[in-house]
Amino acid sequence: MLPHVVIVGGGFGGLAAVRALRKAPVRVTLIDKRNYHFFRPMLYQVATGLLSADEISGPLRSIFSHQENVDVLLDEVTGINSSRRIIHLTKGELPYDFLILATGIQYNYFGQRRMAALRARPRIPR
């Protein structure tokens, strides 16, 4: 049986990891709580009307529809037991041989609460 690689996160890091394993002799499971990848750097073009929202986001299953060794699982990770190599999800457990955590970033506003508040409530120009 092929080794099972679990990748948590469908952002840039997760997508890059899945693509890097496209020809590897492994089974890949990509886990994300959303069913789409959102290309945030082009959000301003949606806000200004140059692009539509569907042009900067795409369903994860569609992105990897031609890659045969990938399954996409919509769920949320609640814990990891690294000694037993099991990832705990809201809908059960999933064993793995290798685990890649690509859950994204956390912004640091260096004590500037006003900037953090603006990030929490993005405003799109009209």
Amino acid identity at 31: I
Domain total in the chain: 1
- The answer to the question of residue 125 being in a domain is no
In angstroms, the CA 64 to CA 61 distance is 5
Residue pLDDT tens, the chain, 126 long: 899 999 998 888 888 899 999 999 999 999 988 776 656 666 667 677 776 666 656 667 777 788 899 999 999 999 999 999 999 999 999 999 999 998 877 666 677 777 667 665 555 554
- The answer to the question of residue 88 being in a domain is yes
- The answer to the question of residue 62 being in a domain is yes
In angstroms, the CA 73 to CA 19 distance is 16
Range of the domain at 8: 4-120
pLDDT at 61: 76
- The answer to the question of residue 126 being in a domain is no
Tokens of 35: 């069913």
Give, as one character, the DSSP assignment of residue 116: H
Sign (positive or negative) of CA dihedral 114, 12, 89, 91: positive
- For residue 14, what is the domain's CATH number? 3.50.50.60
